[in-house]
């Protein structure tokens, strides 16, 4: 007896967008994160229930179970790795990674320690974020105050997040 195995895919944890049941999301553009044509391999998307941009940016801890459940669904559907479309999801990195048996990288902020090591000593690293007022040093994975001082954060607070 053979078992049906879903195709290996990259799994995306997506922010909630308020779509009605059966409603299709707005068209994504070539090169955008959630456009399947951007990749040479299949992707699968799972919306994290309740993960509205403002709640994720503020760091609402009650979202963690929804992130974990959504990641587990992605793996059940064939995801061989899990990523997210909001860098502030890094707050749930440890819980999601512990809940599935595939690599998890919920935010490009995970790269900060590596990027700092690639720069000359004293060089600055810029972080552009949706809201700099909620992008605290605790999200950077850096303990050394001298290294944290090399990170310059800029935000686009008040800008339009989604069409």
The answer on pLDDT for 15 being more than 50 is yes
Q: What is the pTM of this model?
A: 0.87
Region 25-48 average pLDDT: 86
Res 24: pLDDT = 78
Res 55: pLDDT = 94
Instruction: List the domain range (segments joined by +) for residue 67.
Output: 9-106
SS3 17: coil
Same domain, 15 and 62: yes
* 1 part of a folded domain: no
For the chain, the domain total comes to: 2
Q: Which residue has the tokens 């972080």?
A: 127
* 99 part of a folded domain: yes
Round to whole Å and give the CA distance between 103 and 82: 6
| DSSP class of 37 | G
* 4 part of a folded domain: no
């Amino acid at each position: 007896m053979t078992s049906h195995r879903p195709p290996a895919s990259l799994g995306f944890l997506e922010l909630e967008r308020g779509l009605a049941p059966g409603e299709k999301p707005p068209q994504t553009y070539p090169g955008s994160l959630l456009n399947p044509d951007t990749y040479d391999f299949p992707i699968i998307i799972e919306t994290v229930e309740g993960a509205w941009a403002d709640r994720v940016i503020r760091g609402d801890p009650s979202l963690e179970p929804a992130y974990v459940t959504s990641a587990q669904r992605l793996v059940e559907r064939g995801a061989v790795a899990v990523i997210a479309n909001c860098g502030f999801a890094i707050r749930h990195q440890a819980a999601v990674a512990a809940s599935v048996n595939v690599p998890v990288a919920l935010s490009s902020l995970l790269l900060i320690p590596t990027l700092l090591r690639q720069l000359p000593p004293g060089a600055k690293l810029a972080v552009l974020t949706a809201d700099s007022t909620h992008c605290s040093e605790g999200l950077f994975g850096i303990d050394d105050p001298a290294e944290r001082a090399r990170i310059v954060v800029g935000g686009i607070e008040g800008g339009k997040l989604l069409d």
